[in-house]
Structure 1
Amino acid sequence: AVLSLRASRPASSHCVTQSGGWKLLFGSGTKLTIETRTPSDPSYYLLEKDSTQACLATGFSAYNATDKEPLFNQTKSSPTRIEHEATFDKVVLVQNATDCPSGKGSASGECATEGFFETDEKINFLSLTILGLRVLFLKSVVFNVIMTLRVWMS
């Protein structure tokens, strides 16, 4: 459910009364948005590269959802959340593959990254501009060195 309040007159304040006698006062121009979040449990994945193994807990909505797992409870790392995402992720290095808890996630398989990385036209244009300026600078340095060598030889 989404609740939005906006002040219609600049000089007035709005009052919302809750059960139990609580009053919430909103000043002019104040907007309140309340969104409900559906709770989700973490999915666990075992990640392997050469001899390094890590256990990834992903897709959980509560900050301390991994605290009930002893592997994640022992580490000092904190869950992270990507900007504009509703869920947290946490990763821990493991010694044995059996240490990673089995949950909704699978312990093997390929990760699909299609659609995750989006290109930005502005960043692409700026990168191309910087590359062009570097090439132009390199050409001017080479030209100056060649002209200096010609002057010294004559």
Structure 2
Amino acid sequence: GICHGLERCVYIGGNQKLIFGTGTKLIVESGTPSDPSYYLLEKDSTQACLATGFSAYNATDKEPLFNQTKSSPTRIEHEATFDKVVLVQNATDCPSGKGSASGECATEGFFETDEKINFLSLTILGLRVLFLKSVVFNVIMTLRVWMS
């Protein structure tokens, strides 16, 4: 195209082009839009509404509950979507409808044990104990040699 002689150049259109320096890092991500899903979280007398899985930073602004709070949406590093949580007084304040979910989070299956992992952990623990014993034995023998 128009970027003659420039190896780090991207042609945009018209007379516009982007020229990248040697230290520039460009990350291209898909722009697939996703609407927030809302979850009501309850613990004792505290209730919170969680909006999760939305791609636009201001996707929750159309909901009055989320629009009136000063908290910002957060995005975990290397994740494509945002999350936002707000404390609520009434369970009915949490939005429901399209893209919404309710109920308890399923935690079953998160902490399943694996025989291989258990065996490897036990083996590593045994090797650590053996290493510690050999270090202590060497220190004791060295002290005995110095004393004689």
Please indicate, yes or no, whether the TM-score normalized by the shorter chain is above 0.5.
yes
- Quote the Cα distance in structure 2 between the aligned partners of 1:150 and 1:16: 73
- Verify: 1:119 aligned to 2:113, yes or no: yes
Q: Call closer, same or farther: CA 1:22–1:151 in 2, change over 3 Å.
A: closer
Shift of 1:114: 5.8
Instruction: Pick closer, same or farther for the CA change 1:81–1:153 going to 2, 3 Å.
Output: same
Is the deviation greater in 52-61 or in 137-146?
A: 137-146
2: CA distance, partners of 1:146 / 1:28: 57
Deviation at 1:82, TM superposition (A): 1.3
Contact 1:45-1:107 within 8 A present in 2 as well: yes
Deviates more, 1:108-117 or 1:73-82: 108-117
Secondary structure class of the residue paired with 2:84? strand
Unaligned ranges ≥5, structure 2:
1-6
Alpha-carbon distance change, 87 to 145 in structure 1, aligned in 2, over 3 angstroms: same
**Contact (CA 8 Å) 1:44, 1:104: kept in 2 or not?**
no
Q: 1:121 to 1:115 in 2, by over 3 A?
A: same
Measured against aligned partners, the alpha-carbon deviations of 1:32-89 in whole angstroms (never above 9, x if no partner) come to: 4423220101011111112111111000001111111110011111111112111000
Unaligned runs of 5+ in 1: 1-12
What is the RMSD of the two structures over their aligned residues, measured on CA atoms?
A: 6.3
Deviates more, 1:62-71 or 1:139-148: 139-148
CA deviation digits over 1:96-135, x for unaligned, max 9?
Answer: 1111111345553221346778999999999999999999
Structure 1 residues 18 and 96: alpha-carbon distance in aligned structure 2, compared to 1, 3 A threshold: same
From the superposition, tell whether residues 40 and 148 of structure 1 become closer, same or farther in structure 2 (CA, over 3 Å).
Answer: same
SS where residue 33 of structure 1 aligns? coil
Q: C-alpha distance in 2, partners of 1:149/1:22? A: 77
Decide whether the 8 Å contact of 1:75 with 1:92 is kept in 2. yes
Shift in CA distance, 135/75, structure 1 to aligned 2, threshold 3 Å: farther
Cα distance change of structure 1 residues 146 and 49 upon mapping to structure 2, 3 Å threshold: farther
**1: distance between equivalents of 2:145 and 2:25?**
72
Alignment of 1:61-76 (within 5 A): 61-76=55-70
Identity percentage over the alignment? Answer: 91
Structure 1 residues 132 and 152, CA gap change in structure 2 (3 angstroms): same
**Cα distance change, pair 127–25 in 1 and its aligned pair in 2 (3 A):** same
